Amino acid sequence: MIYLDSAATTLQKPPAVARAAAWAIQNLASPGRGGHLPARKAAETAFACRQAAADLFGVESPEQVVFTFNATHGLNIAIRSLVKQGDKVLISPWEHNAVTRPLHALGAEILIAKAPLFDRQAQLDAFEAGLEARPVAVVCTHVSNVFGFILPIEEIAAMCRRRGVPLIVDASQSAGCLPVRQDTIRAAFIAMPGHKGLYGPQGTGLLLCAGEAVPLIQGGTGSASVLQTMPDYLPDRLEAGTHNLPGIAGLLAGLRYVTARTPETIGKREGGLIRRAAQGLARLPRVRALQARDPACQSGVLSFQVEGMDCEEVGELLSRRGIAVRAGLHCAPLAHESAETLESGTIRASVSDFTTQAEIDRFVWEISRLAAQSSDATRRPSEKRT
């Protein structure tokens, strides 16, 4: 299979990830749940993972690295730590439901910094204008999961600091393939999944905490057991219950892979592959590829449409040809509304460090075949009438 759905999950992992997860199942107990060797090994592995993440993402202390189930889990913690019912919150027009649904559930007043797709200056101007409304927080994705648009997150963060407004960053599509540094961005929270650009197992994620955090769930932590409130220190305050140690061990292996390769190297490779795909699709009749003019504005994610064909149909036909993509709204209706693709949706191709040029060329060739078939099917009824 040619796997082009890494924006959802990187199916192809470094071999060390699976080995680490399997080793953990056989050898690790739970941190803080005993003084025996399996518990101690578990604690050492968890700390090593926090330290690897702190080093990669410029976090001052490994204790500020909190384990989550995914980015959605981390975003919920961050949003509920800063936002109350009726509060104004400024967001980008490219946000995922992992941001918009928690805000709606809280009854927040959502302000959208509307700007055209791939226009970084217009996006900055929109945030500057939105901050005039004095929101209690800003939530911004680093990269659109639908279009691969790389938002100017460092500049947005600087705006927020000047206004004294805390920033929450969704790094779901940037962690591992773009520079994401807490010591540069200085956000209150940065949330990321383990199973995408960090090449870890599903069910893992990280929340980088620089702000005051409110627990999302309550329970045992293996520490301060006499207290009937959650501990007031990180990471224990946000990590109730038993850790996913096989996932954490696998995530540690993924972090080590990304660190060795460097996000900059991975991102450059992925960007080159997606430009190759976009250029190939742009040459095809009846195919619309949503590509940034400036390569620095787009990551390894590309949305496209085939004229006369339903997006879900294209996804299914590609699957039958051994190519995995995602079609539809990608859990981000706001992004589609902003790009005027809400009614139709898009087909999304997304690459990883394991995608090859040959796979991209095969993908473009298969799309050319589908587009030609669509063109033939459209012409035939007209030919019969004449």
Domain 2-8+263-385 matching CATH 3.40.190.10: the answer reads no
Same fold for the pair 2-8+263-385 and 15-261: no
The CA distances from residue 238 to 189, 215, 221, 244, in Å, are 13, 5, 9, 14
Predicted confidence at residue 383, as pLDDT, reads: 45
pLDDT confidence of residue 335: 98
In sequence order, which ranges of the chain are alpha helices (DSSP H)? Answer: 15-27, 37-57, 71-82, 97-106, 120-130, 153-163, 182-185, 245-261, 263-282, 311-320, 333-339, 357-385
Contacts for 101 with CB less than 8 Å, ≥ 6 apart: none
pLDDT-wise least confident of 66-80, 183-197, 367-381:
367-381
Tokens of 225: 């057991």
Q: Kindly report the pTM of this predicted structure.
A: 0.95
> Rounded mean pLDDT of 86-111?
98
Of residues 304 and 375, more confidence is placed in 304
DSSP state of 229: S
Q: Where are the domains of the chain?
A: 2-8+263-385, 15-261
pLDDT band (50, 70, 90) for residue 384: very low
Could you tell me if 192 and 180 are in contact, meaning their C-beta atoms sit under 8 angstroms apart?
A: yes
**Alpha-carbon separation of residue 210 from 17, 78, 207, 260, 382 (angstroms):** 28, 10, 10, 26, 63
Q: pLDDT value at position 378?
A: 56
Q: What percent of the chain has pLDDT over 70?
A: 97
Q: Could you tell me which residues are beta bridge partners of residue 208? A: 65, 190
pLDDT digits (tens, 9 = 90+) for 35-66: 899 999 999 999 999 999 999 999 999 999 99
Q: According to the model, what pLDDT value does residue 338 have? A: 98
Per-residue confidence (pLDDT) for residue 382, from 0 to 100: 45
Question: Is the Cα torsion angle 255, 259, 264, 268 positive or negative in sign?
Answer: negative
Average pLDDT value over all residues in the chain: 95
* CATH number corresponding to 15-261: 3.40.640.10
| Residue 376 pLDDT greater than 80, yes or no | no
